[in-house]
Chain A
Amino acid sequence: GESVGLHLPTLSVQEGDNSIINCAYSNSASDYFIWYKQESGKGPQFIIDIRSNMDKRQGQRVTVLLNKTVKHLSLQIAATQPGDSAVYFCAENRGQGNLIFGKGTKLSVKP
């Protein structure tokens, strides 16, 4: 069925290295994508978003890339810090208001 999913359930990186978290989506009609960070016991925290008319968007230490040809989304975190340890979700909006979330990737940062 149609879903938003992630390639890896866990990712471990060394502090200071760059992290790349991937996401695949299947609905070509989706026009808005968001990355959320969720720490244990907390609600999802907005990181960055991108609309389907863009390929790349940069924020502070984060970059989101969108490849509509292969329906792939990625989140790059530069100079990963211990505070970046969390579960990261990609979500898609199909224009109906509700978000469809993937299962998440748990990022662990080793000091």
Chain B
Amino acid sequence: DTGVSQDPRHKITKRGQNVTFRCDPISEHNRLYWYRQTLGQGPEFLTYFQNEAQLEKSRLLSDRFSAERPKGSFSTLEIQRTEQGDSAMYLCASSGAGTPMGATDTQYFGPGTRLTVL
């Protein structure tokens, strides 16, 4: 399967614990995005990378959240001191094959990581 992959698919944690999610984008894609989706809502943008550079962060990304893409390939999203309000599906998407229209390239999503904070 050459699509976007995410790990783990499910994570249950206790309030106050730290969690880390991984995303592997489609191999030739240089843009990687993180979104959060709560039940009954559409995905909400969190942050995105072009290669290893983090270009934009949403106001939703509090200081407890940090994302990295150190080598411009896979990315990690860490949530520190989790709260019950962090319970959601965390989606990763990738786009772009080096085209000039990179900002409007189709974003392909992974299956998501469902986080439950008890």
Residues of A within 8 A of B (CB): 4, 31-32, 34, 36, 41-46, 49, 51, 89, 91, 93, 95-104
Interface size bracket, B side: 20 to 34
In the complex, the answer to whether A99 meets B45 with C-beta atoms within 8 Å is yes
Report if B43 contacts A (CB, 8 A).
yes
CB-contact partner of B106 in A49, A89, A100, under 8 A: A49
In the complex, the answer to whether B103 meets A95 with C-beta atoms within 8 Å is yes
- Using Cβ atoms and an 8 Å threshold, which residues of chain A touch B42? 4, 89, 91, 101-104
Going nearest first, the 8 A-B pairs with the smallest beta carbon separation are A101-B42, A43-B109, A98-B45, A32-B104, A44-B109, A43-B112, A43-B111, A89-B42
Q: What is the CB-to-nearest-CB distance from B80 to chain A, in angstroms, rounded to a whole number?
A: 23
Contacts A32-B104, A34-B106 known; A101 to B44 CB distance under 8 Å? yes
Q: What is the CB-to-nearest-CB distance from A45 to chain B, in angstroms, rounded to a whole number?
A: 7
- List 11 additional contacts besides A41-B114, A96-B103, A99-B45; criterion CB under 8 Å: A43-B109, A43-B111, A44-B91, A93-B104, A97-B50, A97-B103, A99-B43, A99-B107, A103-B41, A104-B41, A104-B42
